[in-house]
Amino acid sequence: MQRGGKGKTPRRPALKKATNVEKDPVGVYCRIRPICAEDEECCVEMISSSTIQLHAPDGLKANRNGEYKETQYSFKRVFGINTNQTELFEDVAKPLVEDLIRCKNGLLFTYGVTGSGKTYTMTGSPGEGGLLPRCLDMLFNSIGPFQAKRFVFKPDDKNGIEIQSQVDALLERQKRDSQQSVPKTPSSRQKADPEFADMISPEEACKCESVDEDCCYSVFVSYIEIYNNYIYDLLEDAPFDPIRPKPPQSKILREDQNHTMYVAGCTEVEVKSTEEAFEVFWKGQKKRRIANTQLNRESSRSHSVFTVKLAQAPLDADGDHILQDKSQVNASQLCLVDLAGSERTSRTRAEGSRLREAGNINQSLMTLRTCIEALRENQMYGTNKMVPYRDSKVTHLFKNYFDGEGKVRMIVCVNPKAEDYEETVLVMRFAEMTQEVEVARPVDRPIYGLAAGRRQRNQAFKDELSRRLEERGGPSNADDPVLLNQLIDSLPALPPCELVDPADDQTLPRLIEVLERRQHIRQMITKQVNQTANTLKSMLQQFDSQLSAKETFLHDQRSKLSEKDKVILNQKSEIERLEKKSKTLEYKIDILQKTTGMYEQDKRSLQQELEGREQMLQKELAERRRMEQRMQGMVTDTKYKWEKECERRVNAKQLEMQNKLWVKDEKLKQLKAIVTENSSGGSHPAEPPPKPERPSRERDRNGPQERSASPTPRPDLSQTPLSQNRVNVRAVQDRPPTSTPSSLSSYPSVASCVSDWEQKFPVDSVSQSRYPGTPRGTSRAPAPWHGASSEGRRRDAGTRTVPPVRPRHRRSRSAGGEKWVDHKPSSNLDLDTVMQPIIPNAIKVSTPNEKALSKCHKYVLRHQELASDGEIETKLIKGDVFKTRGGGQAVQFTDIETLKQECPAAPSRKRRSGSEEGPAQIEDVENRAPAGGLSSSSGYQKRRKP
């Protein structure tokens, strides 16, 4: 047995629309704004009454080939720069007002770039009223005589209209009048606003002829704005708290029982005239958000929606009162939308709140384009793509119009300036795509089944009754039932007139008696009336005589009054002119106050930013002072450290020079002993020379000398130990002989003695220099000298060979066939040396990276540091590159090569391990060829501590 599937929540069945519903495309009109300057370049050209042509301005290439590309766009109608507001209203808005009176909804919105004339088209200016005031004027001219009294129609806060009786409406009117806190609705009997009166001239006024006279009408208006994708009510009278002012609260969108979107909690004001409606509009216009930008001095920063709702209900069968049936009440609305202009922040240079406003405006307009594209795709290709109405408040509010709830009209405003060419092209593409969207045509709604002409018949009956009563001389209010009832009650009552028997002779006589009495009373009343009439006639004649005298007096007074009236008319015209000027100045003051407020806000934000930057600057200055103090401390510490180091090196050098001097003195004494021994004879063994005494170190024991601020000067080369040794040897060789010539011939010379002594006590200076790890075997006292012949000594001196100085040559590993990563930091100095570490087939980098390491097998780092003798020493730290388990590269260091540059004339600062050097070693070091650079794989040498 198969188990049933899990049940799902059933979807709400969609409203099925008839397939044979007639559809009309969205009416798109184009209006071209006049150019401000005559010499300004224009990029829009009007070809015909329905076509315009766009051409790229000079300096702008429209395609990749560099040629100018001209495009044409068609509309339902194009209005040129000479089109006035009346022509635009006759073609675009007048049909929508006629449909509004016929219970059909309508939507009219303006679209375009910032500064293209959208607000002017919708609102207008003094002397040139826009679409909004003309729509209101036409509506009230059409339904003016048929309007219901106030509060007969009442909104139910659910996008519906309730109907009240005359008594309830009267009570509510009295209640509103008694409440002083509630602002009263302006009366239509007040004098017209001079600024609004100049917008529409009496010659331009129009009305709808097909108005149902058997209905009563009432007009409700509301005004909202959509700012930063939030809805605000511009007509809401929120209480102002000066201590803690609250920002206006945003409204939400809801759906009524007919699936129509509306703004919940929006204020709807009942108006009875054009002036009253425009006054309400002007009240909300002052609250609308506008700002000064680079492209427009008064740029709209929000989308404004002015809704005109017309409620109508039929009269009863008598044509006297409204039919008390809510189902027979119909409400239609006309939405006049002024969309904010799209703009590029690169041109407006918007920042802060202006930048956020521009982003929200462009986002809402982009959502509108997306919805239009989805509707067009669904209608043209039969797809069922979801239309994203909910992505923006503008599209969500008007989605019913695009789904077939009324006519949709769009006016595309174009600024032909060359700077707006790119934005104008995007607007034209959107308009061209919008014309391809079709909206269902609204049908007429049947209201009731009562006979037509009820109001006219009822009015004709009242007029005829009044005329007859006036002819009879009775009061015009003779049809008052109270007076008729009093008159009937004053007459005798009629007896019962039922005849139960043909022979009854009592009923008729009684009835005749009552009727005679009533006739007598009537004659008395008539006689009294005639007497009263005669009295009135005599009084009237008397009054006529008096009236003639009064009329002559009045004629004189009227002549005077006419003169006064002329003065009053002149004063009234002057007052109207001043009122108009005052209104204009008030509007300018409001704009300037808003602009001043925005400037003050910007000033506060800039001051806050300046204070923040000043704090950061103070903080950086304090940090800099701390850094300078720290650096000064480090400099002082380093200076003291180097002074100690210099003092230590001076002491060490002095000690070394003393040791060398002591060694030389000892050698001279030995030489002197040898010479003395040779001169005295070789029969008896030579006594060892006395051990020379080392110089006293009183100065060393006295403590450290006073430290000098200047560096130690370079020692003189003539005073080096090697030079002193040469001088001493020359002094011994050049010393005059003290013995006789005979003794000189029998004994060898001093040079031969020195040569024999060097052969007996050789010092392998070459091996020591080649192998620095081998300790030097030097002795302080020479070995005893055994005599030999001069010929043998010469033979030994001639056959003795000194090994050549051959520094160890070690081929660098970098000269192989491996691929190396040559890491040379940017801080290294280029030394002007002959031998340079040149590595062939290497990738040179200043910072090692994984890409370079993955291509090579070897790695070398050039490291420079300051050696103990003050020269720059370069070390080549080498290693092998291998891959890790994680897929990366690692380096294992294996060897270090040291490159060092030395000056052969400068004394070596390295202290030798021995304290005595022989003459042969000195001569060997003297005769060695200088090396430009030495290569060694040994580590660091230890520095002797002071």
Mean pLDDT of the 692-721 span: 45
Mean pLDDT of the 243-265 span: 85
Give the chain's largest Cα–Cα span: 225
Indicate the range of 402-416, 544-558, 792-806 predicted with least confidence.
Answer: 792-806
| CA 459 – CA 581 distance, rounded (Å) | 44
Residue pair 193/279 in contact (Cβ under 8 Å)? The answer is: yes
Indicate the pTM of the whole model: 0.51
Indicate the range of 627-641, 702-716, 812-826 predicted with least confidence.
Answer: 702-716
Confidence of residue 442 (pLDDT cuts 50, 70, 90): confident
Is residue 56 one of the residues assigned to a domain? yes
Tokens matching residue 113: 């770039």
Among residues 331, 322, 310, which one has the least CA distance to residue 168? Answer: 322
Instruction: Show binding-site residues.
Output: 112-119
282, pLDDT greater than 70 = yes
Distance of CA 495 to the CA centre of its chain: 97
682, pLDDT greater than 80 = no
Is residue 251 one of the residues assigned to a domain? yes
Q: What pLDDT, in 10s, does the model give residues 166-225?
A: 888 888 888 887 764 444 445 444 444 555 556 777 777 888 888 888 899 999 999 999
Q: Tokens 């990276």 map to which residue?
A: 849
Give the bridge partners for 881, in sequence order. Answer: 891
Give the per-residue pLDDT at 445.
67
Give the per-residue pLDDT at 261.
92
| CA 789 – CA 803 distance, rounded (Å) | 26
Q: Is 52 left (phi over 0), alpha (psi -120 to 50) or beta?
A: beta
Give the per-residue pLDDT at 639.
93
Q: Where are the alpha helices (DSSP H) in 382-497?
A: 393-397, 399-400, 421-434, 454-471, 481-490
Give the per-residue pLDDT at 196.
57
As for how many domains the chain has, the answer is 2
DSSP-assigned letter for residue 252: -
Q: How many CB atoms lie within 10 A of CB 725?
A: 19
Give the bridge partners for 215, in sequence order. Answer: 314
- With a pLDDT cut of 70, the percent of the chain lying above it is 68
The residue from 373, 408, 440 where one domain ends is 440
Give the per-residue pLDDT at 941.
40
Q: What is the CATH number of the domain that holds 92?
A: 3.40.850.10
502, pLDDT greater than 80 = no
Confidence of residue 489 (pLDDT cuts 50, 70, 90): low
Among residues 31, 251, 18, which one has the least CA distance to residue 120? Answer: 31
DSSP-assigned letter for residue 406: E
Give the per-residue pLDDT at 601.
92
Among residues 829, 831, 906, 815, which one has the least CA distance to residue 869? Answer: 906
Among residues 865, 868, 915, which one has the least CA distance to residue 646? Answer: 868
Distance of CA 736 to the CA centre of its chain: 103
φ and ψ of 390, to 5 deg: -75, -5
Give the per-residue pLDDT at 777.
39
Give the per-residue pLDDT at 68.
59
Q: What is the mean pLDDT of the chain?
A: 75
Give the per-residue pLDDT at 360.
77
Q: What pLDDT, in 10s, does the model give residues 870-914?
A: 778 888 999 999 888 888 888 888 889 888 877 776 555 444 444
Confidence of residue 664 (pLDDT cuts 50, 70, 90): very high
Confidence of residue 409 (pLDDT cuts 50, 70, 90): very high
Is residue 247 one of the residues assigned to a domain? yes
| CA 377 – CA 103 distance, rounded (Å) | 30
517, pLDDT greater than 90 = no
Residue pair 88/129 in contact (Cβ under 8 Å)? The answer is: no
Indicate the range of 51-60, 85-94, 667-676, 913-922 predicted with least confidence.
Answer: 913-922
916, pLDDT greater than 80 = no
| CA 913 – CA 915 distance, rounded (Å) | 7
Residues with Cβ < 8 Å from 471, sequence gap 6 or more? Answer: none
Mean pLDDT of the 671-681 span: 83
Residue pair 366/396 in contact (Cβ under 8 Å)? The answer is: no
Is residue 232 one of the residues assigned to a domain? yes
Mean pLDDT of the 577-595 span: 92
Give the per-residue pLDDT at 473.
59
Mean pLDDT of the 828-857 span: 83
Which residue segment(s) compose the domain that 208 sits in?
30-170+193-440
Among residues 48, 40, 92, 58, which one has the least CA distance to residue 413? Answer: 92
Indicate the range of 32-46, 353-367, 747-761, 889-903 predicted with least confidence.
Answer: 747-761
Among residues 308, 298, 129, 111, which one has the least CA distance to residue 224? Answer: 308
851, pLDDT greater than 60 = yes
More confident residue, 656 or 472: 656
According to the per-residue pLDDT averaged within each range, which of 52-66, 130-144, 687-701 is highest? 130-144
User: What letter represents residue 658's amino acid?
Assistant: Q
Tokens matching residue 497: 């007139």
Give the per-residue pLDDT at 417.
87
Among residues 538, 325, 412, which one has the least CA distance to residue 52? Answer: 412
The residue from 440, 457, 474 where one domain ends is 440
Is residue 767 one of the residues assigned to a domain? no
The residue from 386, 416, 440 where one domain ends is 440
| C-beta contacts of 179-185 below 8 A and 24+ residues apart | 183/237, 185/150, 185/269, 185/270, 185/271, 185/276
Q: Tokens 């005077």 map to which residue?
A: 560
DSSP string, 35-70: PSSTTS-B-EEE-SSSEEEE-PPTT---STTS----
Residue pair 821/842 in contact (Cβ under 8 Å)? The answer is: yes
Is residue 385 one of the residues assigned to a domain? yes
Mean pLDDT of the 353-363 span: 73
| CA 342 – CA 228 distance, rounded (Å) | 14
Residue pair 336/398 in contact (Cβ under 8 Å)? The answer is: no
**Could you give the 3-state DSSP secondary structure of residue 224?**
strand
Confidence of residue 332 (pLDDT cuts 50, 70, 90): very high
Is residue 895 one of the residues assigned to a domain? yes
More confident residue, 257 or 694: 257
Among residues 943, 788, 936, which one has the least CA distance to residue 873? Answer: 936
Q: Tokens 């007074």 map to which residue?
A: 557
Is residue 99 one of the residues assigned to a domain? yes
- With a pLDDT cut of 90, the percent of the chain lying above it is 30
Instruction: Show binding-site residues for ATP.
Output: 112-119
Give the per-residue pLDDT at 539.
82
| CA 601 – CA 607 distance, rounded (Å) | 10
Residue pair 883/876 in contact (Cβ under 8 Å)? The answer is: no
| CA 444 – CA 800 distance, rounded (Å) | 137
**Could you give the 3-state DSSP secondary structure of residue 322?**
strand
